């Protein structure tokens, strides 16, 4: 098990560690600073989180709410229980237990015993699926648009466009967005679930979309913490959250990758795409993303002169999850009309391949 303690006061941190040790849980606390807590929790997915804010509880409520949003497990807050209103505010924010620091040796073990007797608070949240492209022409955005529409047939799905410089989801789905992920990040500190929903655009299929910035000048407003918060809010609204990354390289992309349960790398069967796929795999390794979360999807297969799938699999050291056939006529026509091919030509080979890919990820898709 992995427990995280977010605390900036070394003396308090030692006291909490000692109290945890006295419970004979066998767990060693991993300590981190408050400002690093949300990213650490998102990346490591702990079984329990303890928060010990230095300042008054009321002044750290926004931080506490963010941690509860990110953590899909029990969260304990350690602080002074002199103000009953502050304690109630903490519990209203979704915290499992409030622990009185003035009675730490007794109250913390009691809180941990109570949690152990209760069903785990690990929440069922939407599954994040990131789709990365191995260079231009990989068709990653087309895959995202079609996966989102196909998966939304059985469960609510949100698509998020993180190809910040060249986001195409809005045009591929023929939607006119009023707000983008840049707008969300600008108001991150004020955001609640209702405001987040107002940032989403709705496709005629029911898929909700958070688009990339319309203007290049707005890209700078997109922040790692804003992306993390948007993804966590999306997980609470939808069963599936599909993220179009393009070629991942930014800190904002890293936030999405750490939260993702599945990472799809879309590639074609040519040497350039093979090299780019290798670079993406190296990037994921640098981020310490487990390889078992990664799937290779070969797109546009069947073109003359392409590499053999076995050659690619041997070079990458992993098997391709699936091969999607090359069908430029239908794909170009669908993309130009802003209608995903799974809707426009549902019986075509490419549509059947995309629906099967969706089915392999969510278990069931209506035809």
The DSSP 8-state label assigned to residue 365 in this structure reads: -
- Tell whether 301 and 184 lie within a shared domain: yes
| In a shared domain, residues 199 and 147 | yes
Maximal CA-CA distance, the chain: 74
253 with 107, same domain: the answer is no
Q: Are residues 9 and 36 in the same domain?
A: yes
Q: What is the CATH number of the domain that holds 86?
A: 3.40.50.2300
If asked whether residues 78 and 105 sit together in one domain, one would say yes
Specify whether 168 is located in the same domain as 314.
Answer: yes
Relative orientation angle of helices 61-70 and 34-44, to the nearest 10 degrees:
10
In a domain, 231, yes or no: yes
| Domain presence at residue 367 | no
With tokens 């190809």, the residue in question is 163
User: Which domain CATH number covers 313?
Assistant: 3.40.50.300
DSSP alpha helix (H) spans, the chain: 10-21, 34-44, 61-70, 84-92, 104-117, 140-152, 169-172, 181-186, 193-199, 224-237, 251-259, 271-286, 309-316, 328-337, 341-344, 349-362
**Per the structure, how many domains does the chain have?**
2
Q: Are residues 13 and 107 in the same domain?
A: yes
pTM of the predicted structure, to 2 decimals: 0.86
In order along its 367 residues, the chain shows pLDDT tens digits of 899 999 999 999 999 999 998 887 788 899 999 999 998 998 888 999 999 998 788 889 989 998 998 898 999 999 988 888 889 999 999 999 999 999 999 999 999 999 888 866 555 789 999 999 998 889 999 999 999 999 999 999 999 999 999 899 999 999 999 999 999 999 998 888 899 999 999 999 999 999 999 999 999 999 999 999 999 999 989 999 999 999 999 999 999 999 999 999 999 999 999 999 999 999 999 999 999 999 999 999 999 999 999 999 999 999 999 999 999 999 999 999 999 999 999 999 999 999 999 999 875 555 5
β-sheet bridge partners, residue 31: 5
Same domain, 244 and 223: yes
Residue 122 lies in a domain: no
* Residue 214 confidence (pLDDT): 94
Question: Is position 196 within any domain?
Answer: yes
Same domain, 138 and 109: no
Q: Are both 132 and 97 inside the same structural domain?
A: no
Neighbours of 283 (CB within 10 A): 17
Domain range for 93: 3-117
| Residues 344, 350, 355, 361, CA torsion sign | negative
Among the candidates 71, 91, 117, a domain finishes at 117
Task: Looking at the structure, tell me whether residues 107 and 154 fall in a common domain.
Answer: no
| Spatial separation of the C-alpha atoms in residues 293 and 355, rounded to whole Å | 20
- Indicate whether 131 and 33 sit together in one domain: no
Helix pair 84-92, 61-70: axis angle to 10 deg:
30
Q: Which of 64, 83, 117 is the last residue of a domain?
A: 117
- Say which DSSP state 180 is in: B
Task: Using alpha carbons, select from 123, 156, 155, 163 the residue that is nearest to residue 139.
Answer: 163
């Amino acid at each position: 098990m992995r427990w995280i303690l977010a605390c900036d006061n070394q003396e308090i941190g030692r006291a909490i560690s000692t109290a945890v040790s006295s419970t004979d849980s066998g767990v060693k606390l991993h300590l981190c600073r408050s400002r690093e807590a949300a990213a650490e929790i998102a990346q490591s997915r702990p079984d329990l989180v303890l928060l010990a804010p230095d300042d008054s509880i009321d002044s750290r409520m926004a931080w506490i709410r963010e941690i509860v949003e990110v953590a899909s497990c029990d969260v304990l807050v350690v602080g002074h229980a002199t103000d009953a209103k502050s304690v109630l505010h903490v519990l209203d924010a979704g915290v499992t237990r409030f622990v009185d620091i003035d009675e730490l040796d007794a109250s913390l073990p009691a809180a941990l015993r109570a949690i152990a007797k209760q069903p785990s608070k690990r929440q069922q949240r939407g599954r994040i699926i990131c789709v990365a492209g191995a260079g231009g022409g990989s068709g990653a955005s087309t895959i995202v648009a079609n996966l989102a529409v196909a998966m939304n047939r059985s469960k609510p799905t949100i698509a998020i466009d993180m190809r910040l410089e060249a986001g195409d989801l809005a045009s591929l789905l023929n939607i006119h967005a009023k707000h983008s992920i840049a707008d969300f990040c600008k108001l991150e500190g004020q955001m609640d679930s209702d405001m987040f929903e107002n940032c989403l655009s709705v496709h005629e299929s029911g898929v909700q979309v958070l688009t990339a910035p319309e203007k290049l000048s707005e890209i700078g407003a997109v922040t790692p913490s804003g992306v993390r918060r948007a993804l966590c809010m999306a997980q609470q609204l939808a069963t599936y959250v599909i993220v179009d990354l393009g070629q991942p390289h930014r800190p904002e992309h890293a936030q999405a990758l750490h939260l993702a349960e599945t990472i799809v790398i879309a590639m074609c069967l040519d040497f350039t795409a093979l090299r780019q796929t290798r670079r993406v795999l190296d990037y994921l390794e640098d981020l310490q993303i487990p390889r078992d979360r990664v799937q290779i999807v070969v797109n546009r297969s069947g073109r003359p002169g392409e590499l053999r799938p076995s050659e690619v699999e041997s070079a990458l050291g992993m098997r391709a999850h699936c091969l999607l056939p090359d069908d430029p006529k239908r794909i170009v026509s669908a993309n130009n009309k802003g209608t995903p091919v799974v809707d426009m030509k549902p019986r075509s080979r490419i549509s059947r391949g995309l629906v099967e890919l969706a089915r392999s990820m969510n278990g069931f898709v209506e035809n």
